[in-house]
Amino acid sequence: MSEHVHDVVAIGLGPFNLGLAALTHDLTDVDGVFLEARDEFSWHPGMMLEGATIQVPFMADLVTMADPTSRFSFLAHLKAVGRLYPFYIREDFNPLRAEYDQYCRWVADQLDTIRWGHTVTAVERDVDGTHTVTARRRDGRLTSLRARHVVLGIGTEPAVPPVAEGLGGPVTHSGGYLGARAGLQESESITVVGSGQSAAEIYLDLLEGCVDHGYHLTWVTRSPRFFPMEYTKLTLEMTSPEYARYFRGLPMERRDVLQREQRNLYKGISADLVDTIYDTLYRLRVETGRPVPTTLLTNSEVREAGWDESAGRYSLRVHHEEQDASVRVTTQGLVLATGYRPRTPHFLAPVEGSIRRDARGRYDTAADYSVDVDGRIFVQNAEEHTHSVLAPDLGMGAHRNSVIINAVAGREVYPVEERIAFQHFGVHEIESPVVSPDEERVPAGVGR
């Protein structure tokens, strides 16, 4: 083990830790190393659908909101690959999903602080308060690094509803959709389960095949309707530092309720996509002259699911909430677009005693995104229950990294905006006008 102590060792390399790597790369007083189990950067490869865009503008890249002059910005990438003017003429601020992946790879290729093929096996606390991070390299050998701070950016894992856990057959989570698409389209019937953007994108992607391949396509969602994502400007102010502070100050029970109520702020469907789905349904009906072989079920939850190996079909009991009635859906293909949940990092077991947890066993994340008693272990996108919808938002990644970097460096490396919203989120923020006891009070409308 090297005796050198790094300022930070980061584990996992999704967009958030990649942004951290970019923002620290040229700093002379922050020495960082970034460990990733994979051999290259890859961002949601199973959902790299043709023409799909990310749901935030290009300024929500890895660095711009912390350092607009950074050489690792999305605009710098466009200039480097000769696509800046075409992007400008395109007049769409939301990059293609494939384009965002290319941008991230471009940044990663320029960073010599990344260690690919390193799977972390343990994080241990040393007697001096530093940490030792042990990783298994692709050749099987172990390597250890010492760090004053550790940043967890291990991402999320596919979430499967309890009713579908252990379900046999070729069930597919949306995260692996592209690899399963060809097989799905050979089925006589396909059912997509889910309420958000991924479910909508997969449904639209399969919709043309209703005619071309002759299968029946069903979409089941628990939502009472196909909710468009809320994207008004005042609503977007909820992705602000002051809203995070307000949210953190609420009781845990209230935060948990708000988490459920606010899902359509970032888990809804883009309004354009909802309209495109309708327009496609309409066009297919005009072109074929008959009803489109598809069923859309809202207010409906899958209560039971089973796989019949001999028949090669799934049997789903779908319960309609408003009617309190159930219907049986049989389908050969099944796609679960049921979202993701935070990973449980087993390598933290040696330091579990120093990790702060709430009553439900989740990270008790501090304002600076640290989760241990010493303020030396930080998390990326594992704090939605404490910091609200900011956690998964790509646009707030640079803000969170600014906070973490300032804590690691012990100085203000990147200025952090404390207030950006016009609105107030709580009454405690409002200062009432102070009236002196001796000041004469004049009734409204009465002159002196």
Tens digits of residue pLDDT in 331-357: 999 999 999 988 889 999 999 999 999
- Report the Cα 362 to chain-centroid distance in Å: 17
Strands 300-308 and 333-336: unpaired
Element (H, E) at 400: helix 397-409
Give CATH superfamily name and number for 5-155+343-409: FAD/NAD(P)-binding domain (3.50.50.60)
Quote the CA–CA distance of 445 and 425 in Å, as a whole number.
32
**Sign of torsion, CA 58 370 387 238?**
negative
Indicate whether 36 pLDDT > 90: yes
Quote the CA–CA distance of 88 and 139 in Å, as a whole number.
45
Element (H, E) at 137: strand 131-137
Confidence class for position 447, pLDDT limits 50, 70, 90: very low
Confidence class for position 12, pLDDT limits 50, 70, 90: very high
Q: How far is CA 152 from CA 118, 135, 211, 398, in A?
A: 14, 14, 46, 15
Confidence class for position 219, pLDDT limits 50, 70, 90: very high
Residue 230 tokens, joined? 């809320």
- pLDDT given at position 228: 84
Q: For the chain, where do the domains classified as CATH 3.50.50.60 start and end?
A: 5-155+343-409, 160-229+267-336
- Least Cα distance to 155 among 377, 8, 343, 10 occurs for 343
Question: For the segment 49-98, what is each residue's pLDDT rounded down to a tens digit?
Answer: 998 999 899 999 999 999 999 999 999 999 999 999 999 999 999 999 99
Question: For the segment 106-139, what is each residue's pLDDT rounded down to a tens digit?
Answer: 999 999 999 999 999 999 999 999 999 999 999 9
Residue 315, judged by CB atoms within 10 A of its CB (0-12, 13-18, 19+), counts as middle
Mean pLDDT of 306-327: 96
Indicate whether 1 pLDDT > 80: no
Mean pLDDT of 183-189: 96
Indicate whether 159 pLDDT > 60: yes
CA-CA-CA-CA torsion for 276, 282, 287, 290, nearest 10 degrees? Answer: 140
Question: For the segment 232-275, what is each residue's pLDDT rounded down to a tens digit?
Answer: 889 888 888 899 999 999 999 999 999 888 876 767 899 999 99
- pLDDT given at position 231: 81
* 197-207 and 177-184 helices, crossing angle to 10°: 30
Residue 419 tokens, joined? 């207030």
Percent of the chain past pLDDT 70, that is, above it, reads: 95
Looking at the domain 160-229+267-336, which fold is it? Answer: FAD/NAD(P)-binding domain (3.50.50)
Quote the CA–CA distance of 24 and 30 in Å, as a whole number.
6
pTM assigned to the model:
0.90
**Sign of torsion, CA 199 98 42 379?**
negative
Question: For the segment 361-398, what is each residue's pLDDT rounded down to a tens digit?
Answer: 999 999 999 999 999 999 999 999 999 988 999 999 99
- Report the Cα 129 to chain-centroid distance in Å: 31
**Helix, strand and coil in the chain, % to nearest 5:** 35, 25, 45
